Amino acid sequence: MDTVTVLLMTFILSVTGLGVFIWSLRRNMFDDNPEAAGVIFSTGEIGHVEDPSATPEQRAGLQKVVTEGGKAVIDPSLAAKLQQELADRTEADQSTAYVTFTFLCCAIVWLVLASTFGLISSIKLHNPEFLTQYAWLTFGRTRTLHLNMVAYGWCPMAAFGIAIWVLPRLLKTRLYGGRFAILGCMLWNAGLIAGLGAIAVGINDGLEWLEVPWQVSILIVIGGSLIALPLVFTLRNRKVKHLYVSIWYMGAALFWFPVLYLVGKVPGVHFGVEQATMNWWFGHNVLGLYYTPIALASVYYFLPKIIGRPIQSYNLSLIGFWALAFFYGQVGGHHLVGGPVPHWLISLSIVQSMMMIIPVLAFSVNQHLTMRGHFKTMYYSPTLRFIVIGAMMYTLSSFEGSLEALRSVSRVAHFTHFTVAHAHLGLYAFFSIVMFGAIYFVMPRVMSWEWPHPKLISLHFWLVTLGIGVYFVSLSTGGWLQGLAMLDATKPFMESVRVTIPYLEGRTLGGTMMTLGHLVFAVHFVLMALRYGTSRVGPALLHPRKFQPEVQAIAGA
C-alpha cells in the first residue's frame, strides 16, 4: 500500500467518523443548550457572577455588566433553593480543600524553582561564562532541570490540584479517595526529586521530556495512577445524571498521562529510529492529551461561572473533545521532518496536524460566542483576565503548530529557537496562564480567606503577559533568522549563532519579567496560606454589607 493511499484512507476515516458524530448531535449547532451547559450552575444561579479574587467594587461592576448584557435573568424566587444547593457545594469544597492545597503548594514551589533554573539557562545562551564553577550549573543540566521542573513539577501539580477541586463540584458530591491522591502526590514528588538529583549529577536517559531515569520514573507512574483514583471513586458516587464536558476532558487527561508515560519509559523496548519516533510521540501527546485537556476543562468551567452564563454551544464543546481525541495521536511526527523515518509517517503527522484546526476552531468559536457582549467583564474580573488570555493563546499556539508542521515551514524553523518560542506559547501562555486564573479562583474557596492584596494580582498579570510577549516575539524572530542563516550555504555556521544574540537577550528580558511575576504570585500565595489579611465570613464569602442586595444571595457560591 503506497503512501498516498494510506493518507487518503486515514483522512477519509477521520472525517467520516467526525461527520457521523456531528450528525448525531442537534442540527442547530450554535443554539443554546441550557440543560447540558447549565450543569455547572445551581438552581437560579445563572445570571450571578462569581470571582473570589475580585474586590467588592470589581464584583459589583462585573455583576452590572453581566446584568445589563441581558443574557441571563436573575430569579429572586429561587434564592431559598439556591442557598441549599450552595450548602451542598460548600461541603464538596471542604472535602477537597486539604488535598487541593497540598497540590497547589507543591506547584508553587516547583514554579519558583523552575523559573530560577530557566532564567539561569537563558542567560547562559548569550553569556556562556555565567555560573560555570560547577558541573550541575552548566547549560546542559540547568536547562534539563528547568524542563523537568516545569513538565513534572509545576504543570502537573497545578493541574491535579485544580482537577481534584473541580470534579466534586461538577459531580455535586464530596471527594472520595482523597488519601490516595495525597499518597500519589508524595510518591510523585519523591520520584521527581530523585530524578532531578540524578540529572544534576549527570545521570539521565538522554531523551527530551524523558530524561528522568526509568528506575525513578516508576514512582511517578504509580503516583499518577493513585492521583487518578479519586476520579473513579467520586464518579461512582456522583449526584448528577449528565457529565459536563470538563469531566470528559479531565477524566481523559488523568488516565491518558500514566499510559503515555509508562509507554515512553518502558526500558529495553525502543531503539534507534523507533526511539526517536516514540520520543516525539510522547513529547507532543503529553502536551496535547494531558496539559491541553486540563486547561480546556478549566476554561469550560471557570469562564461561564465567572460571567454567570452557560457556554454558547454545548455541542461544539463535545466536537472539540472528540476531534482532539481523533486527530492528536500522531501529531508529534512532524518534528522528525527530514529524519530517517518512513515518509508516510511524516505525511500522516502533517495531515493530522492540519486537521487539529477542527477542535481548535470548535473551542475558539464557542468561547468567543460565550464572551460576546461580555468582554468588558475582563476589566472587572482579575481571574477572567487570565482565563480569557490563556484561551486566546490556545488558539494562537494551535494554529501556529499546524503551520509549523508543514514541510516548507519546518525546513526553516526546525532545530531553531522558533520551536522553543512555540513550545512556550502553548505550555506557558496557554496552560500556565489558565492555571494562574484557576488558582486565583480556587484558593479563596480552599482557605476561606481573601487574597490579601488584590493589586498584586494585577501586577502578576501584567508581568507574566508582557514577559511572555517579549519572550515569544524575541525567540520567534531570532529563531526564524537563525533558520534562514543555517540554510544559506554561503554563511558559516557561527553566523547563525551570532544573529540570535540580540534576540536571546530579549528572551532573558522576557524571562526576567515572568520570573518576577512568579515571585509576586508565590509571595501572595504564601500570605494567603498564612492567613494574612482580611478573613472571610464563611467559606469564600465576601463581606455582605459591601454588596448590592441581589448579589448577597450568591456571595458564598
- Residue pLDDT, tens place only, 467-514: 999 999 999 999 999 999 999 999 999 999 999 999 999 999 999 999
- Segment 402-409 long-range contacts (CB within 8 Å, at least 24 positions apart): 402/353, 402/354, 402/356, 402/357, 402/360, 404/334, 405/331, 405/334, 405/349, 405/350, 405/353, 405/354, 406/350, 406/354, 407/337, 407/350
Q: Integer distance in angstroms from the first to the last C-alpha of the chain?
A: 59
Phi and psi angles of residue 535, each rounded to the nearest 5 degrees, phi first: -80, 160
- Residue pLDDT, tens place only, 208-223: 999 999 999 999 989 9
Rounded (10°) angle between helices 314-327 and 343-355? 170
> Please, which pLDDT band fits residue 553 given cuts at 50, 70 and 90?
very low
Average pLDDT over residues 380-405: 94
pLDDT confidence of residue 518: 98
Return the percentage of the chain with pLDDT > 90, whole number: 55
pLDDT confidence of residue 13: 65
Q: What's the CA gap between 259 and 32, in Å, rounded?
A: 36
> Out of 150-159, 289-298, 332-341, which region has the weakest mean confidence (pLDDT)?
332-341
Write down the number of H helices and E strands in the chain. Answer: 23, 0
Contact 334, 410 (CB under 8 A): yes
Average pLDDT over residues 382-390: 94
Contact 429, 397 (CB under 8 A): yes
**pLDDT for residue 190 is more than 60:** yes
Average pLDDT over residues 91-109: 94
> Please, which pLDDT band fits residue 304 given cuts at 50, 70 and 90?
very high
pLDDT confidence of residue 342: 84
> Please, which pLDDT band fits residue 27 given cuts at 50, 70 and 90?
low
What is the full DSSP assignment across 186-225?
HHHHHHHHHHHHHHHTT----STT--S-HHHHHHHHHHHH
pLDDT confidence of residue 338: 82
Q: What's the CA gap between 33 and 16, in Å, rounded?
A: 25
536-553 burial string, b = 16+ CB within 10 Å, else e? beebbbbeeeebeeebeb
pLDDT confidence of residue 503: 97
Mean pLDDT of the chain: 86
pLDDT confidence of residue 547: 36
Return the percentage of the chain with pLDDT > 70, whole number: 86
**pLDDT for residue 549 is more than 80:** no
Strand, coil or helix: what is 341? coil
Phi and psi angles of residue 449, each rounded to the nearest 5 degrees, phi first: -150, 145
> Please, which pLDDT band fits residue 552 given cuts at 50, 70 and 90?
very low
Q: Which three cell numbers stand for residue 1?
A: 500500500
- Residue pLDDT, tens place only, 43-52: 767 877 888 8
pLDDT confidence of residue 4: 56
pLDDT confidence of residue 548: 40
Residue partners of 122: CB distance under 8 A and separation at least 6: 504, 507, 508, 511
> Please, which pLDDT band fits residue 90 given cuts at 50, 70 and 90?
confident
Q: What's the CA gap between 290 and 250, in Å, rounded?
A: 8
- With the C-alpha atoms ordered 273, 279, 282, 283, is the resulting torsion angle positive or negative? negative
Average pLDDT over residues 441-463: 92
Q: What's the CA gap between 312 and 17, in Å, rounded?
A: 24
Average pLDDT over residues 509-524: 98
**pLDDT for residue 124 is more than 60:** yes
Q: Is 137 exposed, middle or buried (0-12, 13-18, 19+ CB in 10 A)?
A: middle
> Please, which pLDDT band fits residue 24 given cuts at 50, 70 and 90?
low
CA 468 to chain centre: 15
Average pLDDT over residues 314-335: 87
CA 413 to chain centre: 24
Q: Which three cell numbers stand for residue 491?
A: 554563511
pLDDT higher at 136 or 91: 136
pLDDT confidence of residue 344: 82
Looking at the DSSP bridge assignments, the partners of residue 58 are: none
| Count of Cβ atoms closer than 10 Å to residue 348 Cβ | 21
Average pLDDT over residues 240-253: 90
What's the 3-state SS for 225-258? Answer: HHHHHHHHHHHHCCCCCCCCHHHHHHHHHHHHHH
pLDDT higher at 2 or 175: 175
H helices of 405-500, where? 407-413, 417-424, 433-447, 454-487, 493-498
> Out of 30-34, 311-315, 321-325, which region has the weakest mean confidence (pLDDT)?
30-34
Average pLDDT over residues 415-419: 94
Nearest alpha carbon to residue 167 among 82, 85, 240, 222: 240
pLDDT confidence of residue 56: 81
Average pLDDT over residues 459-466: 97
**In the block, residue with C-alpha cell 549529577:** 201
What's the 3-state SS for 489-500? Answer: CCCCHHHHHHCC
pLDDT confidence of residue 211: 95
pLDDT higher at 537 or 183: 183
